[in-house]
Amino acid sequence: MNKHFYVAILAGGLGTRFWPKSRAAFPKQFLDILGTGETLIQAAYKRYSKFILPENIFVVTSEEYSEIVKEQLPQIKPENILAEPSRKNTAPCVLYMAFKLQQLDPEAAFVVAPSDHIVTDTETFKELSIAGLNFAQKNNAFVTLGIKPTYPNTGYGYIQYDTASAKDEHIYEVKTFTEKPDIELAKTFIESGDFLWNAGIFLWKAADVVNAFEQYQTEMFEFFAAEKNNFNTNEEKQALERIYPLCVNISIDYAIMEKAENVFVIPAQFGWSDLGTWNSAYLNLDKDENENAITSDNIICFDTTNSMISAPEKKLLVLQGLEDFIVVDTKDVLLICKKDKEQKVKEFLAEVKKKKGEKYL
């Protein structure tokens, strides 16, 4: 393994679209959503440990989840669990990681990746990730893994690439990033053949990331640069508490990727899914003869089709007459909604908070 390769697994999100199973105190990255026997963050750690040295695997999370990370990943060094004092989207934590690594290892190249993805072909994922890291290490290049789309999904961002600009290992220049399109635009993207799903997986050199922030996000760069001598010391936590309130809430896509001119993509297929919603869980679970995805042996269905049904193992659920529904039962909340209305889960949560406070969040 290359000792200069690192990964930052992002695990600080709230996972609200998987409510009511995912809660603010214990969000989806720490759950075994698909019944595989391991949580999403455990699967991510295993995936990266195939080509990243254990001491080079970092988890970036929120302070309130640090203990959960320690429990679920006892093999990770405590100092490699980076606790953010507040949620400011992905740009600040990427710059934080880049400054840390630049001091630890001037030759560091690292991956930034969410903890809640599914990857079924881990060998292909490993090969392409190594290719991207090698390319980034040799060039001043920001590399992303783009997923070859299989249908016009409106829940993903898209990357347009120059199909005639092949570099090493089938790496192409990126032309544009597009946020989640409507269905008609998504269909146009698919038909064009030069668009990929944006998986939010980025590979780059730490020094190049720091330089890009200095150019494109000067204010945020200056906040971190002023405290850089405190990173990798006992003063790091206090430094972050001074920095984070000053930072704007912005994603790495908006902050850097859409502005930089040295962005490349590797078109990929490795059984990827962004496990962002109950419908994505439905798509990744085995189905019964009526196309229902059922997570427990204690669920009995009559005249029910194309539905996503999750309940505690010890609870008996008997359902009749449902078609295209999501049913999620927990010890204190039951959610029943149409599959095509799953994007309203955040609205449901807002109403629950308004009427019931934060007890059920």
pLDDT over 80 at 153, yes or no: yes
pLDDT at 169 over 70: no
Q: What is the pTM of this model?
A: 0.93
Q: Are residues 245 and 314 in the same domain?
A: no
Could you tell me if 18 and 97 lie in one domain?
A: yes
At residue 216 the predicted structure's pLDDT band, cuts being 50, 70 and 90, is very high
Residues 29-53 have a mean pLDDT of 94
pLDDT tier for residue 137 given thresholds of 50, 70 and 90: very high
pLDDT tens profile 170-204: 899 999 998 888 899 999 999 888 999 999 999 99
Residue 361 within any structural domain of the chain: no
Would 96 be classed as within a structural domain? yes
Parallel/antiparallel/unpaired status of strands 142-147 and 81-84:
unpaired
Of 274, 289, 305, the one marking the end of a domain is 274
Q: Please choose, from the candidates 47, 41, 45, the residue with its C-alpha nearest in 3D space to the C-alpha of residue 22.
A: 41
In the chain, what percentage of residues exceed pLDDT 70?
100
Indicate whether 241 belongs to any domain.
Answer: yes
Residue 80 has pLDDT above 70, yes or no: yes
Reported as a single tens digit per residue, the pLDDT across 259-277 is 999 999 999 999 998 888 8
Give me the mean pLDDT over the 125-131 stretch. 96
- The tens digit of pLDDT for each residue in 236-252 reads 999 999 999 999 999 99
In a domain, 205, yes or no: yes
> What is the pLDDT at residue 102?
96
On the question of pLDDT at 166 being above 80, the answer is no
CA separation for the pair 128, 145 (Å, rounded): 8
Domain endpoint, select from 274, 304, 326: 274
Q: How many domains is the chain built from?
A: 2
- pLDDT value of residue 276: 84
Q: Is 131 within a domain?
A: yes
**Location of structure tokens 């600040």:** 92
Kindly report the average pLDDT of the chain as a whole number.
Answer: 94
What is the span of the domain harbouring residue 295?
278-356
Rounded average pLDDT over 278-307: 94
* Domain identity same for 135 and 38: yes
Residue 23 has pLDDT above 90, yes or no: yes
Predicted confidence at residue 154, as pLDDT, reads 82
Please report whether residue 43 resides in a domain. yes
Q: Are residues 246 and 227 in the same domain?
A: yes
